[in-house]
Amino acid sequence: MAEWATQRLEGAVRSGAADAMPADDLFEIAAHDIKNALNVVNSALDMIAEDPAEMNEMLPLLRRSSGRIGRLVATLVEVNRLVGGTMPVQLTDEPWSQLCEKAMAEVAIVGQAKEITVDLRGGRALVVRCDRPLLERVLTSLLDHALATSPRGSVVDVEGARTDDGGFRAVVGGRGPAVPAEVLRRSRGWGLGIIYCRLAMERLGGSIRAISPYVGEDGLAFEIALPAW
């Protein structure tokens, strides 16, 4: 990697670590998210205990909740590495469509359960200069958030595009309730997955921002941007 690019990444790590939440806050957010997922599991198990005939109906719910817990634990580990500046970065040229397909497969069971369609729109043929594992997890976290906040039977959009300066931008958006402007301006208040996305994009020398309303007067989207290397 060129020397200037290395310096840019190192600067992003320093700024990200300096602006990061205290460790206690991060663990509190993680505990809250994991507790919510465990509550869903416990509620499903209670329903099965009361009526074993509910087993088949509850199994998909249990599977996606256990999958979410696993992703949250993995995300917490990676957030810790990002804050500490120990997350390695290896830039390679990756097909955008393959990055999206991998992330979509990770959250497919959630989309199926809520009958939500993930619409991979423009940019399918683009090649993105990135660290593949980092960007895949960012996309997975954004999709996970969009699916969780979108109404049943709706659509979640994923769209990539080349910027005028040769960089890359992508939007992941759902059609849930709009988020008030004062909430969008906060650096805190988002779940662990969105905190991870912010730190990861900083580690890549890029950025992330929330957009709401996204469609008409509703919806929330996250736009990520990467520089031209």
pLDDT for 11: 43
What homologous superfamily is domain 90-226 in, according to CATH? Histidine kinase-like ATPase, C-terminal domain (3.30.565.10)
pLDDT for 64: 72
- CA-based torsion, 60, 63, 69, 74: positive or negative: negative
Mean pLDDT computed over 177-201: 81
Mean pLDDT computed over 152-165: 94
- Does the global pTM surpass 0.85? no
Specify the DSSP class assigned to residue 125: T
Q: Report the percentage of the chain scoring pLDDT > 90.
A: 38
Give the model confidence (pLDDT) of 10-60 as tens digits.
343 344 433 445 555 666 667 767 777 787 788 878 888 888 888 888 787
pLDDT for 21: 52
The CATH 3.30.565.10 domain(s) of the chain lie at: 90-226
- CA-based torsion, 50, 54, 59, 62: positive or negative: negative
Give the model confidence (pLDDT) of 132-141 as tens digits.
989 999 999 9
Of the listed ranges 104-118, 124-138, 157-171, the least confidently predicted one is 104-118
The CATH 1.10.287 domain(s) of the chain lie at: 4-84
Say if CB 193 and CB 29 are below 8 A apart. no
Task: Answer whether CATH 1.10.287 is correct for domain 4-84.
Answer: yes
pLDDT for 28: 67
